[in-house]
Structures are given as structure tokens and as C-alpha cells.
Amino acid sequence: MHIAIWGNELIAWTAAAAFAEYGNQIHINSDAQIPRSLSQQSEQNNVLFNEPGLLHKVKQHYDQGQLLCGQLDEALACPIQIIALAPDKLELAQQLLGLAAERVPFSLLVINYATFGLGATDQLNTLLDIKRDQVIAYIPDNLSEGNAYERFTQTDTLVIGCQSSKGIQLIQALYKPFSRHLNQLLPVKTHEAEFMKFASNGMLALRLGYINELANLADQLDIDIDTILAGLGSDPRIGKHYLSPGCGFGGSYFSKTIESMAELLKTNRNSIILNTLIEENEKQKTRPFRKLWQHYKTDVAGKKIAVWGLSFKPNTASIQNAPSLNVVKTLLAQGCEVHAHDPQAILNFSQEFPANGQIVYHEKALDALQEADALLILTEWNEYWSPDYAKMLKLMKQPVIIDGRNILEKTLLRDLGFTYYGMGR
Amino acid sequence: MNVFATDASARLYEHAKFMGQRHIAQLFQEDPNRFQKLSFELDELLVDFAKQRLSTETLQHLCQLAEEKALKRWIKRLFNGEKINTSENRPALHTALRTPIDQSLLLDGTDVIQQVHENLDRMSRLVECIHSEQWLGCTGTPINTLVNIGVGGSDLGPFMACKALGEFSSPASEKLEIHFVSSMDGSHLSSLLSKLDPTRTLFVISSKSFTTIDTLANAETAREWLKRAEVHAEMDESLIIKRHFIGVSASPQRMVDWGIPESNHLYFWEWTGGRYSMWSTIGLPIALRIGMEGFRDMLAGAHVMDCHFRDTPFTENLPVLLALVGIWNINFLNITAHAILPYDGRLSHLPSYLEQLEMESNGKSTTRHNDQVNYHTCPILWGEIGTNAQHAFYQLLHQGTVPVMCDFITSAKRYEAPGHEELKHQHQLNLSNCLAQSQILALGDTVIKDADQAPAYKRYRGNQPCTTLLMQRLSPYTFGMLIALYEHKVFVQSVIWDINPFDQWGVELGKTIATGLLPALTQEQACEALDSSTLGLIRHINR
């Protein structure tokens, strides 16, 4: 099938790679005005660089001619149009659909992946002509950065928000290669599907926020959060997912939906539950710093601080809304010298905080520890889980570890002579 | 000694015999051009004296009186930093606080303008630190609430300015909550503390001497509240003070003695009178509310008024004219009550600010030569937002027996951004009330037809003299102009009355006696040698 995909978001490139893999002819572009080559498009957005393996897949299909960029007229004439734009690009989506609706002679299927807000898909639908068999569907994506391709191609539930049975049929055909893992196909109304997307992300965020609050409280009451979590997780009503406290969630994708849901709740219900959550999450991001601040009795100026982990989560180079941004900003403002390490995100991070006398980037994690007064762990990259403690002890001036992700074994560390602070432990 | 035994005064007494018989309505009938002749403009501020019971001739005589009292020389002495606060042997250099950095003024060999700007820069760094959320409490959480603890000059000015200029907050500054605490009995503080987060609250202790008992009592309560907070359980007291207290004072050593480290000090000087101090680092809450740029705009507005006051002939000099019109009302028309009526909710605290500025400065009966005066000095001054006062004391202004002079203060333009049509309408309603009230107070019911047919209880006598102060818009700049205008007005009146406006000995004895009574109230010590009333009350309290 000929598919046009509009957008530069993670879902745009993931869908492009996945659909191209199974024989579809893909046109991917970020807007209908300026034709851009693959490299020009990928330069506009770090998604392709940040997501492991995705760039490789995209390039492969591009080289094989299965994936095309810059042929705007052809793209606008495709019978399947996929909107995968950023949440603030509704106007652009309207413009694109207006053009496509004119050009495609008959049977146009529009799939909207973009999180424009509740009712946006119905709004886009008004641009289509039902008499000419032009239909729209909203599919909430459940991608998570770091393993987006797997999530897309191995989904176990496919929610399709679509009022047209023909549209649903066509989508089923399109998703056929990915149906091996599919347990449930759930056709719903478009605005119900949109709501589902907001609702599930909001629920996850609330859970994370609550766990973080519990950990903070546990800290203050001298209770070990690990014990509490073991109990909580064994309760089948609660389960074990999304139950790890840490220094706040980030990423562009998740954060954007939470913000939209917060706005929706605020406007319609005058409810600030998610706004409070976002606010608390921002505070949570600097919690490792606050532990350092208290350890050094508010006197941190001139201290040499090692930071492990800059990306907002492991296996991505993305630093969007990452706790490291807040922590490093505060460390620098308070006069600390920062020595940072991250397996993938240094390039992105150094664009925000260029290396200078006050901030130095290291290729090897241990190198960042030389003469350090403390180590802050902000991302749970695999290589940080079991470091060479003996070397660390030798390198660090003060063996103080603040584990923002609770990945280290606190008793062992204390026995080895480290001063260890976790999140709620 | 009668300071009014001069040629110009004699002419004014004579003139007053004539003008005292006149009604303001009559003056308008006789001269339709009163507004053109009796209103004066500077930059974005217009002052209209046309509704006063005076004529251009009155102003000429008054200006001659000012010449005779050597006002020009006094203004020079004020600006030059001469020690005109003789009872405390120091200058009164609030004008230096708003002088641009490219100028200089030597005081005992030190350039005070440089000192002023060094401290403004220090304050600016502090403001930047708080606005960028990098002033951290002792748990490491950024401060988002500021509580100013001060009283009198360390409270009224910043409190008034923060209320007046709140809408000039920047995105960085509007995140910050600012509160003011002054009452000695802890009322302000106790109701506030229950709502605040100790990890995010910063206290500013403002006191020129750093001995003011009201302020120190509140500061002590604040310190104990911080210490008692669960999250601070394991913190040293010195850390809590270092992260949660800033001191603003002219006495660095006393701040240190209280526990505030030098890094958290902001200074001003002995030559800054408390009630003239909002331009100094005492203005920290203002700078935090509107940003340093806004604060500097306010200083610039005041500086424009300073230059105007220093350089303009008396006949066109706004502070001089405002003061002389007051002198005319008080000393020649025998009016000793003065209402301050802002028609702008943002200026709600202006009356209490001016109560201190005027009554603490000129509420005195001893001349600079230690003689008793035999003339009126500062009138009773009070006020309220005009439209609210209309439902309170305007009855007295319109139909009471007390002659009162009134200042109507408002701005021409407000709510100009699109989408504020309803509020704009409210502003117009407000302006129409402002104009209507001053019109009736001055002209009485002559403004309507056949008023004399009405029964006596429905009549409006009028003839209450009114001044209208009209800003084009209220902004940090025009606000600075307005406050400096009143400061200089107070100074001019003090020159005419031959009193020192910069001391306040009348407030001292109360402090001493209160300290003496405390042991009797805490029952540590019996106190027999008292008048029967005080003794009786103490016994009743202790019962």
C-alpha cells in the first residue's frame, strides 16, 4: 500500500520503519511546503538518533527505495495518510488533510496518531468527504522511548477509534503483520480512543508520583521503601509495574500527554490533580541534589560532583525533561564542578551545557569520579548497576553516593565504606 | 516664635480674610479658566489645584512666603547632604538613593552614590538568585515564599509598593509569594505560619537599628517555627538561619549578633530615614515583586521628581505648590484634617503610608530652635480607597461640621489590553465617581439645578478644598514620581513651619515605659508606683 506519513515524532519514524518492513511504500515528510531529504528531516529532530536501532532500519528502507522523502505531490496523493505530528501542530494537520482530501480521487483512509487533544480527530474528520469514502481513525500509540519499534510491532492490544467499518477493516489489514502478539482488537469511537490515551498515561504518572511521595516520606520516617514496595507489589490489586521510586519521570512523549491531560482536567473539571503531580515531579527531579546539599550542610560551592546518567531513561540519547537538566543546572548555579558521564546522551546534553571549566564530560564512567566529593546516579543505565567499587573508593575524594534510581545494594555499599543515599532507603 | 511674622504672611492673612469668605463654586463662576491656570504637569503626572479655595494671587503670595523662608537654600542643603536632621546630627539623603550612577556626592569623604549602587547591585544579585529559584532552603528546596518582617518604614513603603505594582510582576517573580508581617502581637505571623511551607520560606528581617522590639519578637517566632519543623529536625540552627533569613539594616553587627551571617546582609545607612527608606535595600520585597528593572524604573521616576523639585521655579514646582496649598489650608484657612482618597484599588495602602510620612515627619510642635509653635503644623491625615470611603466617611466630608482638605489620586488609563472591556468599564465608573465626588465636595450642590429648594438634610455645603493628582497610568515610574512628590511636599512644609521632619522623638517614651511595664505583666515583679488606672488594669489582666 502507498502510505504518506506526516511528522517527525517517534511514532512517525517507528510506523514508517515498521510499515516499510512489510512491503508498503512509505512517503515520510514533516510538512507539505518544503521537500526535505532524509538527512535534513532527521537533523530537525533527535528522535532518530536517540532511539536505538531506528535510524539503521529507516536508512535500510530508504536505501532500498521503500521509504521516500521529499516527494510531496506523490505523498499527498497516497490513499492512506498518517498524521504523526507534534501535539501543537493541529493547524498543519488540517492543512495537510485539506490538500490530501482534494487530491486523492476516492477511498482515503486517515490514521491519526498525534495527541492533539480530545475531539481533534472529529475536528479533522470535517475536512473529509464521507461520500467519497474518506474516513479517519485515531489509534492511541503506546510507544515508550528506548523500545518503540518492539512496542509498535508486538502490541498485544490494538485500540482503533473509528466510526467506519471499512476503515477498521483496512487498518486490520495494515496491522496484519503485527498481529501475532495481538490478544485484543478494540474498536471504539474516535474520542473514546483519544481519551484512553490520556487516561492511561495519567494513571501511570499518578502511580509514579505516588510511589515517589511514599519514598520521600519513608526517607523522613526512616523506613526502607524496598520493604514497603515488596509488600505493595505482592497485592494483586496493585501489581509490580511502575512501582520503582526515583528522581522523577521525563521524556518528551510521556510528559507531553500528561500535560495535555492535566490541561483537560483543569479546564473541564477544575481539577488540579495532574498539575500537582507535574509540579511534584519537577521537585522530585532535584531530590538527589537535595540529598547532596543536606549531606554537605548546604555548603556545596567548589565541590567536585560526578553525575552518572544524563538521558531521561536508559537506552536513549534523549534528555528531554530529564532530571539531569534540573540537577546539573542547580549544581552549576551553586558553584559545584560537574563531571558527567552518559553512554549516549553527552552530545545532546553538551548542547544545553557546553563543556567548560565548570562542567566536564567523560567517556568512561569511572573517569568522572576522580577526586569527586560525591556521585549522583540519575539514569539506570545497565553499566551503572555493578560498578568496580574498589576503584571507585580509590578515585573518589569523598565516597558519597546518591543513587537517584535505587540501583545499588545499599548494605554492601555501606559495608564497603561508602556513604550511601537512595530514594526512600 | 511665629514663623508667619513675615511680609508675605501678612499679605496672606489679609488675602485669607477675603478668600475665607468665598465659596469655591463662586471662584469657578468668576473665572472659567481656573483649570488652565491652576493645574500643573510634569511628565505623566498632572496636579489640579483648581478645586482649592485659592487663586493665582494666593499662589504668588505663598511662593513669596517660601522665598522668605529660604526654601531654595533648604532644598540645596537637603540635596547636598548637610546634616539638616539636627537632633540626630545626620543628613537626610533619600534623594541619593535614586541618583544615577554617573553622578557623585561626597559625604565625609565617601561617595555615597557609589555606595548606593554597590548595594543595589548586591540586592540585584540576590533578587536574581531568588527569581532563578537558586536561593535554596536548608533542605535544598528553592524558596518560593518571602515574609518581610518589619514595622513602620521597614513595612509600610514596601507593603504599599508591592500592592500598587503587583501587576508588573515578571514570569520569574510572580511565582514568588510575598507577605508582610508587622504587628507586635503576632497576629499577622500566627495566621500566616500555619499556611506556609518551612522548607520554602525566606524571612527578611528589616530594621534600621535592628533593635525594634516588634520586629525582633516576630523574627524570634519565625526562627522557632523553622526550628520546630519536622523536616528541620536534624538541622543546626545556624544552617536554618543562613538559608532562611536575610537581614536589612544599618547595623551589621547587630545582624551578626542575631545570627544572620554577613553573606545574607543588605545594608542601608544612618542617613536614610526609616520612612524614606523604600528606595534603599528596604525595598527588597518591591524588587522581588516587580524585578530589578521595575525597581530601577521606580527610582528613575522618583529621580525625575527630585530634579524637578531641585531645579524648577516655585511657581511651577509640583512638590512646592502641593506643600504651599497645604500651608494655605492649614495656617490661613484653619483646616486641620486631610483625607487621602486614592481612586485606584492598587493604591489601597497609600493612605497608611502617607499617615506615617506626614504625621511622623511634621506632627511636631517644637521648632528647630526649640521653641514651641503657636500655629498648626501637620493636620490629622487619614484615608481609604475613594469608592469604599464613599460608603464610610464621605457623609462627614459632605455634611459634617469639620472642614477637610482632600487629595484625589487616580490614573487616566487602565485595562487597555484587548479582552478587558468589562474591567475598562469599571475603571471608567471609578473615574466618574472620582470626578463627581471632588466636584460636589468643592462646589457643593450648585452643580445641580434648584438645589436650594431641597430640605436642609439634602443639601451639600461644598467648599471642601480638593486637589486631584492624575497619573496617565500607574507604573513603577509614575508611582516613584508620586511618592517622591509627597516626600518633598512634607519637606517644604517642614521648612515653612521651621521643624525638623526627619526625627521622631515622640515615639520613644512609649517604648521605654512599655519595657518597664513588662515585668509587672509577666508577674516577675510587682509594680506599685503607677497611676491607679494602669495599676488597676494590670491587676485585672493578671487576675
A335, closest residue in chain B (CA to CA)? B134
Q: What is the pLDDT of residue B390?
A: 97
Q: Given a cut of 80, is residue A42 above it in pLDDT?
A: no
Check residue A211 and give its pLDDT.
Answer: 95
Q: Cell digits for B516?
A: 518597664
Amino acid B523: pLDDT:
76
Q: Confidence class of residue B429 from pLDDT cuts 50, 70 and 90?
A: very high
Cβ-proximal residues to B109 (8 Å cutoff; 6+ apart), any chain: none
Instruction: Quote the minimal CA–CA distance from A379 to chain B in Å.
Output: 21
Say if residue B524's pLDDT is above 80: no
A402 pairs with which residues across the strands?
A376, A421
**CATH number of the domain located at residue range(s) A286-421 in this protein:** 3.40.50.720
Confidence of residue A41 (pLDDT cuts 50, 70, 90): confident
Query: Rounded to 5 degrees, what are φ and ψ at B68?
Result: -60, -30
CATH class as words, domain A197-283: mainly alpha
Question: C-alpha cell of B112?
Answer: 555615597
Residues facing A188 on adjacent strands = A161
- Per-residue pLDDT tens for B124-159? 999 999 999 999 999 999 999 999 999 999 999 999
Contacts of A89 (CB under 8 A, 6+ apart): A7, A114, A116
- Residue A29 to residue B391: CA distance in whole angstroms: 67
Q: What is the pLDDT averaged over residues B419-429?
A: 95
pTM of the predicted structure, to 2 decimals: 0.86
Cell triple for B281 = 535595600
Q: Which of A220, A289, A334 sits opposite B231 (nearest CB)?
A: A220
Of B138, B140, B231, the CB nearest to A289: B140
In this predicted structure, the answer to whether residue A202 has a pLDDT above a threshold of 80 is yes
- The x, y and z cell numbers of residue B434, run together, are 472620582
Whether the pLDDT of residue B269 is over 80: the answer is yes
Question: A49 with A317: CB under 8 angstroms?
Answer: yes
> Rg for chain B (alpha carbons), in Å?
25
Q: Check if the beta carbon of residue B507 is closer than 8 Å to that of residue B152.
A: no
CA distance A287 to A309: 15
Would you give the distance in Å from CA B261 to the centre of its chain?
31
Q: How far apart are CA B56 and CA B54, in angstroms?
A: 7
Asked if A146 contacts A315 with a C-beta cutoff of 8 angstroms, the reply is: yes
Confidence band for A182, pLDDT divided at 50, 70 and 90: confident
Q: Compute the average pLDDT of residues A284-298.
A: 96
SS (H, E, C) chain A: CEEEEECCCHHHHHHHHHHHHCCCEEEEECCCCCCCCHHHHHHHCCHHHHCCCHHHHHHHHHHCCCEECCCHHHHHCCCEEEECCCCCCHHHHHHHHHHHHHHCCCCEEEEECCCCCCCHHHHHHCCCCHHHCEEEEECCCCCCCCCHHHHHHCCCEEEEEECCHHHHHHHHHHHHHHHHHCCEEEEECHHHHHHHHHHHHHHHHHHHHHHHHHHHHHHHHCCCHHHHHHHHHHCCCCCCCCCCCCCCCCCHHHHHHHHHHHHHHHHHHCCCHHHHHHHHHHHHHCHHHHHHHHHCCCCCCCCEEEEECCCCCCCCCCCCCCHHHHHHHHHHHCCCEEEEECCCCHHHHHHHCCCCCCEEEECCHHHHHCCCCEEEECCCCHHHCCCCHHHHHHHCCCCEEEECCCCCCHHHHHHHCCEEECCCC
CB-CB neighbours of B472 under 10 Å: 14
* C-alpha cell of residue A316: 536513549
The 8-class DSSP code of residue B87 comes to G
Whether B391 is catalytic is yes
Fold equal for A2-188 and A286-421? yes
DSSP helix/strand/coil, B340: strand
- Nearest residue to B27 via CA among B54, B48, B47, B49: B54
For residue A146, is it left (φ>0), alpha (ψ between -120 and 50) or beta?
Answer: left
Cβ contacts (< 8 Å) between B136 and chain A: which residues?
293, 298, 330, 334
Neighboring chain A residues of B236 at a CB cutoff of 8 Å: 297
- Structural domains in chain B, CATH included, are 7-68+312-497 (3.40.50.10490), 94-287 (3.40.50.10490), 508-542 (1.10.1390)
Show binding-site residues of A for substrate. 197, 242-246, 250, 313
Least confident of A42-56, A124-138, B423-437: A42-56
What is the crossing angle of helices A287-295 and A323-333, to 10°? 30
The CA-based angle A365-A366-A367, given to 5 degrees, is: 90
What's the pLDDT score for residue A181? 83
Q: Is the pLDDT of residue B89 over 90?
A: yes
Entry field: residues in chain A: 425
With cut-offs at 50, 70 and 90, classify the pLDDT of residue B36: very high
CA angle A316, A318, A319 (to 5 degrees): 130
CB A400 within 8 A of CB A289: no
A44-55 pLDDT, tens digit each: 667 788 888 999
Which region holds residue A135: left if phi is over 0, alpha if psi is between -120 and 50, else beta?
Answer: beta
Q: For chains A and B, what is the number of CB pairs under 8 angstroms?
A: 30
Tell me which chain B residues have a C-beta less than 8 angstroms from the C-beta of A293: 136, 139-140
pLDDT at B148: 98
State the DSSP string of B391-403: TTTHHHHHHSSS-
Domain ranges (residues) in chain A: 2-188, 197-283, 286-421
The ipTM, to two decimals, is 0.80
**Mean pLDDT computed over B271-275:** 94
pLDDT attached to residue A297: 94
In this structure, the dihedral spanned by the alpha carbons of residues B398, B404, B405 and B409, taken in order and rounded to 10 degrees, is -60
pLDDT reading at B3 higher than 90: no
Is B17 part of the annotated catalytic residue set? no
Q: Chain A neighbours among B 132-161 (CB < 8 Å)?
A: 132, 134, 136, 138-141
Query: Residue A397 — pLDDT band, cuts 50, 70, 90?
Result: very high
Report the residue of B136, B139, B199 to disrupt the A interface, i.e. the one with the largest count of A CBs within 10 Å.
B136
**For residue B234, what is the nearest residue in chain A, using CA coordinates?**
A294
Measured distance CA(B89)–CA(B267) in Å, rounded: 20
Give the 3-state secondary structure of residue B107.
strand
Strand A134-138, strand A157-162: pairing:
antiparallel
Q: Are B381 and B359 in contact (CB under 8 A)?
A: yes
Among residues A298, A299, A306, which one has the least CA distance to residue A324?
A306
Q: What is the mean pLDDT of residues B416-431?
A: 95
Q: How confident is the model over A68-106, as pLDDT tens digits?
A: 998 999 999 999 999 999 888 899 999 999 999 999 888
How is residue B276 annotated by DSSP? G
3-class SS at B409?
strand
CB-CB neighbors (< 8 A) of A289 in chain B: 140
**Mean pLDDT value across residues A14-40:** 89
Q: State the pLDDT confidence band at A145, using cuts at 50, 70 and 90.
A: confident
Q: Are A25 and A2 in contact (CB under 8 A)?
A: yes
Is the Cβ–Cβ distance between A190 and A121 less than 8 Å?
A: yes
What is the pLDDT, as a whole number, of residue A315?
84
pLDDT digits (tens, 9 = 90+) for A206-251: 999 999 999 999 998 999 999 999 999 999 999 888 889 999 999 8
Q: Which residues of A are annotated as a binding site?
A: 115, 145, 197, 242-246, 250, 256, 313
Name residue A379's amino acid: T
Are the Cβ atoms of B138 and A294 closer than 8 angstroms? yes
* pLDDT for residue A45: 67
pLDDT digits (tens, 9 = 90+) for A303-333: 999 999 999 998 889 999 999 999 999 999 9
CATH class of A2-188: alpha beta
The pLDDT assigned to B1 comes to 60
Q: How far apart are CA A128 and CA A167, in angstroms?
A: 13
Q: Is B360 a catalytic residue?
A: yes
Determine which one of B195, B234, B369, B391 is catalytic. B391
